[in-house]
Amino acid sequence: MQPPKRARVEKSSSAECQGMICSGRRNVFTLNKSKHRGCEFAFSDILLLLFRRLRTVDTHGCSIPKITSQPLSSNRWLPKAPRQGDSGTMSIQDGQGKGTLDVAHYFDDEGIPAKIPYGGTSSRNHLAFKYYDEDQIVRGKSMREWLRFSVCYWHTMRGVGLDPFGGGTISRPWEDGTDGLENAKRRLRVAFEFMKRLGVPFWTFHDRDIAPEGATLAESGKLLDAVVDLAVELQSSTGISCLWGTANLFSTRRYMNGASTNPDAHVFAYAAAQVKKVMEVTHRLGGQNLVFWGGREGYQSLLNTDVRQELDHMAAFFRMVVAYKAKIGATYQLLLEPKPKEPTAHQYDYDAQTVICFLKTYGLDKDFKINIEPNHTTLAGHCAEHDVVMASKFGMLGSIDANTGVAHLGWDTDCFMADPQQTTLIMKTVLEQGGIAPGGLNFDAKVRRESTALEDMFIAHIQGMDAFAKGLVGAAALLEEGLLPRMVAARYASYAEGFGKRLAEGQASLEECEAFVAEHGEPRLVSGSQEKFQSIFNTYA
């Protein structure tokens, strides 16, 4: 057996090709289901915090405890509101530049370069890419085109490090502590400045991340329009495009029993009206996709739930979406995002295969594809890459929420993916299906609660982008060399001709199988050779 050669990697820039193949650590997440049973508290407790409605906003645009000078709770299990003056808590006093349109100083002051440079693998600069060179050509396309990186608004711009045991740890100098429109607009300017410096081509958002929710549906719509007006301007001045938009149908208490699967038709109608608006603004922003993650579409108890009725309602909801998309002339790809649990105990869109089954059952499989989030995949008890591969094999992989979990925690930790074994397998799948467009690799990932420095938001994305760039190059080498694909094909060679071919094509009968076995007897044992496959794979990843 020949050792694998490195893929031919050309560069469109003058910089030299870097050695992209490294030896990697195998860390496939095979989660013990029983281990994360009982961990559903994470999301629900966070939401408990959010519903306290004490102003300042966190992930998905919900409320978190207001900065207050009240004494901290003595009960250590209750969420604690940070006090002004506590070291590391939010500074709402700093008004520097907040009234101006100029936001560059927030990053200049921290020594962030105007554009994160490519430094190559020998670089030890944490504010430079080691593998991601956007113009580098890999199998005929630039890294930028293959990877289609996107920054998500909810974690990166709204996350403050909330967890079930404590309030925010992360403060950003541009935040004024309100949930007002002025703050929302300034934050949006900062987001585009951040993405411009990082060099990502796309962004994603929920309606309630980018704009405050008003007292009525109409008021919320107006607030959203005001922010989207600015987003249209910022997209055109920076060249950054919208990968997808989505509606937050899970944070406010209105949706506590679900949105389209809510037993109350009034709530269903409200959710549909909210989605209508998001479809319009995403269309206006030129969004290439529209995502539906079934936030609270699931159940807590079968005793009070008619699951078939709820799923029928969900399908009816999506049929209205398909109809309205045609009506407004939108061309974006519609995507469902599976997740097995959190916040409900049993989410309907469990994993890729469940969603494919749902779409086919209700005749929606031509209208929707799937947005796979590897951390959700691990929550479903699969390895991180499983659903990416599964969706792709059935022609349903539309986009990827590029993140990963922590195997020994087992809830939705939304970490930036760092394991080259995982990114190589994912990018192998993306290469095999000819690309991920119009989807992309959206970093639905957040800095750790303890990563409170402003530069951490850059470093986290740089690290994640490098991990996928490295995976892309490794996967390109793997496919170009062709050894592993040939080894896989060899395992199935018996179906390639003769009686095996007739079996694979569905032309043979049970009686013929009986006659075949009568003639050929017991099959010989053929090794699965997993270790051999792993040892070859390790040379690429």
> Of 175 and 207, which CB lies nearer to ligand XUL in the complex structure?
207
Smallest distance from Co ion to CB 296, Å? 15
Closest to ligand XUL by CB, 21 or 249: 249
Q: Sign of torsion, CA 37 27 337 213?
A: positive
CB-nearer residue toward ligand XUL: 291 or 389: 291
Of the candidates 143, 16, 24, which has an alpha carbon nearest to the alpha carbon of residue 540?
24
Q: Please, which of residues 417-446 interact with Co ion by CB under 5 A?
A: 444
Q: Does 444 bind ligand XUL (CB under 6 A)?
A: yes
Residue 42 host element (H or E): helix 41-50
Q: What is the Cα–Cα distance from 505 to 507, expressed in whole angstroms?
A: 6
Q: Is 401 in the site for ligand XUL (CB under 6 A)?
A: yes
Q: Smaller CB distance to ligand XUL: residue 106 or 153?
A: 153
Closest approach of Cβ 293 to Co ion, in Å?
6
412 counts as binding ligand XUL under rule CB under 6 A: yes
Two structure tokens written together for 307: 């699951």
Closest-CA residue to 294 (of 320, 268, 319, 260): 260
Cβ-closest position to ligand XUL? 293
Please answer whether residues 446 and 168 qualify as being in contact, where contact means their C-beta atoms are separated by less than 8 angstroms: no
Binding mask 164-193 for ligand XUL (x = CB under 6 A): ------------------------------
Tokens (6 digits) for 47:
């939401």
295 touches 259 (CB < 8 A): yes
The distance of closest approach from Cβ of residue 435 to Co ion in the complex, given in angstroms and rounded to an integer, is 20
Nearest to 455 by CA among 60, 168, 113: 113
Identify whether the C-beta of residue 193 lies closer than 8 Å to the C-beta of residue 104: yes
> Which residues in the 272-311 window bind ligand XUL by CB under 6 A?
291, 293
Least distance in Å: CB of 229 to Co ion? 26
Query: Would you count residue 246 as binding ligand XUL (CB under 6 A)?
Result: yes
The entry of ligand XUL, Co ion, none that residue 481 binds, CB within 5 to 8 Å by partner kind: none
* 206 labelled catalytic: yes
* Residue 337 interacting with ligand XUL (CB under 6 A): yes
According to DSSP, the β-strands at 368-372 and 397-401 are parallel
- Binding region for Co ion (CB under 5 A) out of 10-18, 45-53, 136-144, 396-404: 396-404
Q: Are 389 and 395 in contact (CB under 8 A)?
A: no
Q: Considering the candidates 206, 283, 313, 376, report the single residue annotated as catalytic.
A: 206
In sequence order, which residues have a C-beta less than 8 Å from that of residue 434 and are 6 or more positions away? none
| Closest of 227, 373, 203 to residue 288, by C-alpha | 203
Using the minimum distance from each CB to ligand XUL, give the nearer residue, 246 or 429.
246
Q: How far from 102 is each of 93, 107, 345, CA to CA, in Å?
A: 19, 11, 45
Tokens of 363: 């005749």
For ligand XUL, give the closer residue by CB, 390 or 479: 390
Instruction: Answer with the entry of ligand XUL, Co ion, none that 339 interacts with (C-beta below 5 to 8 A by kind).
Output: ligand XUL
237: helix, coil or strand?
helix
| Residue range at the interface with Co ion (CB under 5 A); choices 312-320, 389-397, 401-409, 451-459 | 401-409
Nearest to 206 by CA among 189, 220, 190, 186: 220
Q: Could you tell which of ligand XUL, Co ion, none binds residue 246, using a CB distance below 5 to 8 A set by kind?
A: ligand XUL
Tell me: cis bond preceding 374? Omega within 30 of 0 counts. Answer: no
In the complex with Co ion, which residue's Cβ is closer, 184 or 335?
Answer: 335
Question: Given the rule CB under 5 A, which residues bind Co ion?
Answer: 373, 401, 444
Which residues are identified as catalytic? 206
Question: Given the rule CB under 6 A, which residues bind ligand XUL?
Answer: 154, 206, 246, 291, 293, 337, 339, 373, 401, 412, 444
